A = this chain, B = another copy of it.
Amino acid sequence: MVKQARAARTREALVRSAAEIFDRDGFSVASLTAISSLAGVSNGALHFHFASKAALADAVEEEALTRLLGVADAELPPGASRVQFLVDVTFGLTRALSSDVVLRAGFGLSGEACRHRRVDLYGRWYEWVEEAVRQAEAAGELRPEVSAQGVVTSVVAATVGFETLGARDASWLSGAAVNRFWSLLFPALVPADLLADLEAGGTGSLSR
């Protein structure tokens, strides 16, 4: 049991170190020696856990998906606004992208050319947004003339843009940019009687 716990800790340290090195150098340049030495383990230990750099990248993306789902997976109290929940999750995601190197590296790997991937982070994020928007529509929180598909497209494109731009300039993930996006969108998105109840800056109920 002690051995198993140690193996799990080593694996975790390797995934975290791989994320740091992928985030800094990109997948192609990242060296396995840099990853094992940052994790404080031997090359042999690395190869015991991961057969290849691609296997490490898969593990980083899987862990990033777990963290993405952690940000987006919350029980809503009855009567809570579905649109506000969507807003809060976009804040949770950008906050997590700026503070969590595993999530950031996972999204970065998803943007790399030429890798066969087991985990489709962008696709999973798209599906999550689609379901959140569907629920907002079913709850009557979208203006009748609004196309749900248009909301999904805009929210996914903008958040992926924040992620891409944030990889080079962290101010895109600061929250101010996300706030400006929602402030602009709200009057087109929700009926007038809902506007006053919504916080374009997020309610901070998630992922603090």
On A, residues with C-beta under 8 Å from B are 23-29, 108, 111-114, 122, 145-147, 149-151, 153-154, 156-165, 167-168, 172, 177, 180-181, 183-189
Contacts and interface: CB of A to CB of B under 8 A. Distances in A.
5 contacts: A26-B28, A122-B165, A145-B187, A147-B183, A160-B164
Contacts of A147: 180, 183-184
A145 B113 CA distance: 41
Mostly, the A contact residues are helix
Contacts of A189: 184, 188
Nearest to A126: B165
A181 B165 contact: no
Given A161-B159, A168-B122, A184 B154 contact: yes
Contacts of A108: 113
Contact of A111 (B23, B114, B167, B187): B167
Contacts of A24: 113-114
Given A147-B180, A184-B188, A111 B164 contact: yes
Contacts of A167: 111, 113
A156 B161 contact: yes
Q: Which of A27, A108, A184 has the most CB of B within 10 A?
A: A184
Given A164-B161, A188-B185, A150 B23 contact: no
Contacts of A113: 23-26, 108, 167
A180 B185 CA distance: 13
